[in-house]
Amino acid sequence: MKQITKFVTCAVHAGLALVLALGAATPAAAQAYPSRPITIILPSGAGGGQDVLARQLAESLGAVLGQSVVVRNLASIIGQQTVMAAPADGYTLLFDASTMTTLPYLVKTPPFDTEKDFTPITQYAKTPYVLTMHPDRGVRNLRDMIAYLKANPGKLAWGVAGVGTPDRMAAAQFAEMAGVKPLIVPYKGGAPALLGVMANDVQLVSLPASSVKQPIAVGKLIGLGTTSKTVTPDMPAIAPIATVVPGFEFYSWYGVWGPKGLPPAIAAQIRNAIVKVTANKEFANKVAASGYELIVSETSDFTNVIQSELAKYGALIKTLDINQ
């Protein structure tokens, strides 16, 4: 009997020891992230401003996290849905624009629910756009462009980076406020849209300064106006659109999401790594030189921005009857 009692006591002690050991191992396992490469999905074509922005982040983020971080370009909707279907383990992330608050309203069957299908991590950067035009129509300023479109509705084609993209919303907002009707031509990314206007397949685009600065400098495009409230520092010769269309203002922003159900600890680790990256002055200067302003936010603030813009652009899209 004593031997049985001794055996049971030893077994209980061993079980307790195992439970304690497993409990102690849990934090260590959580800290193991990341233990393999991370993929950032970018629902946009290669070569555009958003692509440059994502790759700048990926390179420095990999150095902070101690793992390679690669950017994979996929078409819009496919990109978001790829992240939706990925395991919520922090190894597949989404780098997207404010498209996330417009695209669900622009197609008959919403491809995703921005609030329910993803885990917000942080807002990352924002940028105004520069409205540019091919010079062949003889139009040299914003007032003349507006006058031309009023006299010739639909005779100027406006290339946009895709269905539901921020520049699509900028075009819609501009058309409403200026009282004009351009022909909207969607492309598969900002880079193809830029090539389209350079080839005169379309006559107008609104893209970040980083994308259009050089073509404007060499006279291949004309800068008509910026979507910022005030003059953009890296393009001081181009006045804000608001000087001609009072009250007009538009910024595109970019953020980082994970799949639905991403553990808060991993989301926080990713955000903290981004904070560390952007705190580097050399990195911040490089981003600023590309025409972007870093606005790394708390996750709760990012969530509030998403909710606010879903309401705002949902109403705008319905009012203007914008569709694919």
Q: How confident is the model at residue 123 (pLDDT cuts 50, 70, 90)?
A: very high
The share of the chain scoring above pLDDT 70, in percent, equals 90
**pLDDT > 70? residue 300:** yes
Measured distance CA(223)–CA(141) in Å, rounded: 8
Predicted confidence at residue 106, as pLDDT, reads 82
Predicted confidence at residue 31, as pLDDT, reads 56
Most confident of 2-6, 73-77, 184-188, 274-278: 274-278
Identify whether the C-beta of residue 69 lies closer than 8 Å to the C-beta of residue 256.
no
**pLDDT > 80? residue 27:** no
Which of these ranges, 24-28, 93-97, 133-137, 146-150, has the smallest mean pLDDT? 24-28
Measured distance CA(209)–CA(168) in Å, rounded: 16
Who wins on pLDDT, 89 or 138?
Answer: 89
Predicted confidence at residue 41, as pLDDT, reads 98
Measured distance CA(73)–CA(41) in Å, rounded: 6
Which of these ranges, 10-19, 95-104, 166-175, has the smallest mean pLDDT? 10-19
Which of these ranges, 92-106, 113-127, 255-269, has the smallest mean pLDDT? 92-106
Predicted confidence at residue 313, as pLDDT, reads 86
Strands 130-133 and 118-128 come out as unpaired
**pLDDT > 50? residue 152:** yes
Which of these ranges, 7-21, 28-42, 189-203, 309-323, has the smallest mean pLDDT? 7-21
**pLDDT > 60? residue 184:** yes
| Residue recorded with tokens 């002055």 | 281
**pLDDT > 90? residue 14:** no
Question: What mean pLDDT is predicted for residues 269-298?
Answer: 94
Measured distance CA(167)–CA(251) in Å, rounded: 9
Predicted confidence at residue 276, as pLDDT, reads 98
Question: What mean pLDDT is predicted for residues 65-84?
Answer: 96
The share of the chain scoring above pLDDT 90, in percent, equals 68
The whole-chain average pLDDT of the chain stands at 88
CATH 3.40.50.10420 fits 38-127+251-320, yes or no: no
The model's pLDDT over 40-50, given as tens digits with 9 standing for 90+, comes to 999 988 887 88
Residues spanned by CATH 3.40.190.10 within the chain? 130-243
Residues spanned by CATH 3.40.190.150 within the chain? 38-127+251-320
Strands 157-160 and 183-186 come out as parallel
Q: How confident is the model at residue 323 (pLDDT cuts 50, 70, 90)?
A: low
Predicted confidence at residue 324, as pLDDT, reads 57
Who wins on pLDDT, 299 or 166?
Answer: 299
> Positive or negative CA dihedral for 289, 127, 112, 273?
positive
The model's pLDDT over 209-252, given as tens digits with 9 standing for 90+, comes to 888 999 999 999 999 999 998 988 778 899 999 999 999 999 98
Measured distance CA(286)–CA(190) in Å, rounded: 20
CATH number of 130-243: 3.40.190.10
Q: How confident is the model at residue 320 (pLDDT cuts 50, 70, 90)?
A: confident
In one-letter notation, the amino acid at residue 162 is: G
DSSP helix/strand/coil, 319: helix
